[in-house]
Amino acid sequence: MSRHVFLVNGTKRTVEAPAAMPLLWVLRDRLGLTGTKFGCGVGVCGSCTVHLDGKAARSCQTPISELGGRRVTTIEGLRNEAVRSAWLAEDVAQCGYCQPGQLMQAAALLSGSAHPSDSEMDAAMNDNLCRCGTYLRIRAAIRRAASGDARGS
C-alpha cells in the first residue's frame, strides 16, 4: 500500500492502494466513477479508455503508480459536448456498454486532428471493440462532431 496523488476530472484525489492496482479499479471501486467500463482487463477492447494528460489511455493497463501528478479525465468529466451531441444525433448506442470508451477515444482523436480522415479514424478507433456493431454510426458521429453540426437529422 502506498499513497498516490493525481487529478481526476480536475479534482485532486489521494488514494491509498497497491502500486500495481490499475486505474480502472481505482476509478470504479475507490472513487465511485463507474462510467469507465471493464471489458477485457488486458488492453485489447478499449472499453476502459480514459484520457491521461489529454491522451487516450487504457485504464486497465495503467497502474496507479504511474499516475503521480498526472491529469485523468473520465467520461464523467469529458468536456467535449460536440462529441456527445454527435453521438446522440447519430443514435450510436445499442447496449451502450463500450460507448464511454468509444467517446473518450474519439474525443482524443478530435483533439489531435480536428477533421480526421477515414484512415485516421480507422487507425484511432480500430482497437475499440463493439459487439453490437455500432461502428458505422461511430464513424458518422465523429464526422458530425468534426463538422460542428450537432443537430439531429
The residue count for binding other proteins (CB under 8 A) is 60
Q: How far is CA 94 from the centre of its chain?
A: 17
* Sole window of 51-59, 108-116, 134-142, 143-151 interacting with other proteins (rule: CB under 8 A): 134-142
User: Which of 22, 20, 7, 108 has its CA nearest to residue 62?
Assistant: 22
Give the shortest CB-55-to-other proteins separation in angstroms: 19
Q: Which phi and psi (to 5°) does residue 148 adopt?
A: 75, 10
Alpha helices in the chain (DSSP H): 23-25, 81-89, 99-112, 118-125, 135-147
C-beta closer to other proteins: residue 12 or 20:
20
Given 36, 49, 59, 62, the residue binding other proteins (CB under 8 A) = 36
Q: What angle do CA 68, 81, 27 make, to 5 degrees?
A: 30
C-beta closer to other proteins: residue 45 or 57:
45
Q: Is the dihedral angle over the CA atoms 27, 32, 35, 38 positive or is it negative?
A: positive
Hey, what's the cell of 83? Answer: 462529441
Which residues ranging from 48 to 107 are in contact with other proteins (CB under 8 A)? Answer: 74-76, 78, 84, 87-88, 91-100, 103
Give the shortest CB-110-to-other proteins separation in angstroms: 15
Which parts of this chain interact with other proteins (CB under 8 A)? 1, 17-18, 20-22, 25, 28-30, 32-42, 44-45, 47, 74-76, 78, 84, 87-88, 91-100, 103, 121-122, 125-139, 152
